[in-house]
């Protein structure tokens, strides 16, 4: 609920161009937020909030006053741990605005098959879909597009079992 409030307030304060830039800045900070050195920095009592904001703005390469104010509020309220979830919400909003979504495919497939999957999903959702391959040694493939809540798997074992079931039904 807290993440939703922060995300909504930030999104409402930004226009579309600002939203994309601020999203990229939040993404940079969310990416390094797992690093223990980062956590020590933002939770350090030796630095005041303005010094922390200056460091975060440099890391994010963003001088947008709304972003800086947002980060100040996050730090003052000790909500830096919520940044990854806020990043996810911003990603969903930016994806919706640009009508472009990213996902990944687990398994071993060719680039042509990957492109075909992208094309089929793009046609189904009337959006631009970019899939990234995560090669895994599984008998089949799994496709995930989080923002659209798409998840499906084609597993060799299951296809064989379905085929046997259909043959038995036909007999």
Q: Residue 90, class by beta-carbon neighbours within 10 Å (0-12 exposed, 13-18 middle, 19+ buried)? A: buried
* Residue 159 confidence (pLDDT): 67
Is the Cα torsion angle 107, 112, 115, 117 positive or negative in sign? negative
- Mean pLDDT throughout 125-149? 87
Q: What length does the chain have?
A: 171
Give the separation between CA 76 and CA 89, rounded to whole angstroms.
21
With bands split at pLDDT 50, 70 and 90, how would you rate the model's confidence at 135? confident
Give the separation between CA 62 and CA 2, rounded to whole angstroms.
24
Residue where the block lists tokens 């605005």: 97
Domains of the chain: 2-95 (1.10.520.20), 100-170 (no CATH)
Give the separation between CA 70 and CA 53, rounded to whole angstroms.
10
| Segment 60-84, tens digit of pLDDT | 999 999 999 999 999 898 888 888 8
* Residue 51 confidence (pLDDT): 92
The model carries a pTM of 0.73
């Amino acid at each position: 609920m807290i993440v939703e409030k922060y995300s909504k307030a930030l999104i409402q304060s930004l226009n579309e161009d600002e939203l994309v830039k601020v999203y990229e800045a939040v993404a940079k900070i969310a990416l390094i937020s797992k690093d223990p050195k980062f956590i020590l920095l933002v939770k350090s009592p030796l630095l005041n909030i303005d010094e922390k904001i200056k460091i975060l703005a440099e890391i994010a390469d963003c001088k947008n006053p709304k972003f800086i104010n947002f980060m100040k509020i996050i730090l003052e309220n000790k909500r830096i741990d919520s940044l990854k979830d806020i990043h996810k919400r911003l990603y969903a909003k930016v994806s919706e605005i640009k009508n472009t979504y990213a996902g990944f495919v687990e398994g071993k497939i060719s680039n042509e098959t990957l492109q075909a999957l992208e094309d089929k999903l793009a046609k189904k959702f009337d959006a631009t879909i970019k899939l990234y391959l995560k090669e895994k040694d599984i008998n089949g493939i799994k496709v995930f597009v989080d923002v659209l809540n798409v998840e499906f798997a084609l597993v060799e074992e299951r296809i064989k079992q379905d085929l046997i079931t259909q043959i038995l039904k036909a007999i």
